[in-house]
Amino acid sequence: MILTQCPSCRTLFRLEVEALEACGGAVRCGQCAAVFQADVYRIDEAASRVEETRAAPRRWPFVVLVVLLTLGLAAQGLYAGRATLARIAQTRPLIRLLCRGVSCDLPHPAALARWHLVRPHIGLTAAGDVLRIRAGLRNTAAFGQSLPLLSVTLINDHGHVVARANYQAAHYLRHPRARLGPGQTAVIRLALHVPAGAVGYRLGLFASTKD
């Protein structure tokens, strides 16, 4: 049994020595139909195995590159979603550790139920065309929080919505800031034009999407 290689398409064949002697060493390639002398293009099997062994490690750079690219994409995903993941108790320690290594900022945890309006003074002006809102906004959580959105809804005497708007802290705070520490209170000052037909209002607080 010998190993030979077609010179045209480089296909390898194993042939019986007796069969080669019977045909004078000339064979036809079953892949490309080329006729060649099998003994002339005979390949040393031991040398072939050595060559295959040497060639195998060349695949490793490609594998390493794929792994590095995968890790890079995963890191980008974590960085882009760090604000959401940081609000989850199970993933916040990991995100905090990763951000410490690359110096990225993290939003504080969000606990919307821990915001409270205190000492509110809300009413219409004498002309009835402006709604003035004055109140304290207190963070009763044990940690600092990004300030929420203040939602104001105006309704008519049938309870239907006449107008609704959401305000960032920069619009409703007397002294604008981005966050409040635990137990701190900020002062709300807001004056809104009241459209015709509005006779009542509703206030709400929503998590800010700016983080």
pLDDT of residue 151: 93
pLDDT of residue 173: 92
Is residue 55 scored above 60 in pLDDT? no
Q: Is 179 found in the same domain as 144?
A: yes
pLDDT, the chain, mean: 80
Is residue 146 scored above 70 in pLDDT? yes
Supply the CATH number for residue 185's domain: 2.70.50.60
Is residue 93 scored above 60 in pLDDT? yes
Phi, psi of 177, deg, nearest 5: -155, 170
Position with higher pLDDT, 9 vs 92: 9
Q: Is 179 found in the same domain as 146?
A: yes
pLDDT band at 37 (very low <50, low <70, confident <90, very high): confident
What's the mean pLDDT in 69-96?
69
What's the mean pLDDT in 117-137?
87
68 assigned to some structural domain: yes
53 assigned to some structural domain: no
Residue 7 belongs to domain spanning? 2-43
48 assigned to some structural domain: no
What's the mean pLDDT in 135-146?
91
For the stretch 94-113, pLDDT in tens is 767 777 666 666 555 578 88
Is residue 49 scored above 80 in pLDDT? no
pLDDT band at 194 (very low <50, low <70, confident <90, very high): confident
190 assigned to some structural domain: yes
Domain count, the chain: 3
Long-range contacts of 156-163 (CB under 8 A, 24+ apart): 156/197, 156/198, 156/199, 156/200, 157/197, 157/199, 157/200, 159/200, 162/195, 162/197, 162/198, 163/195, 163/198
Q: Is 175 found in the same domain as 119?
A: yes
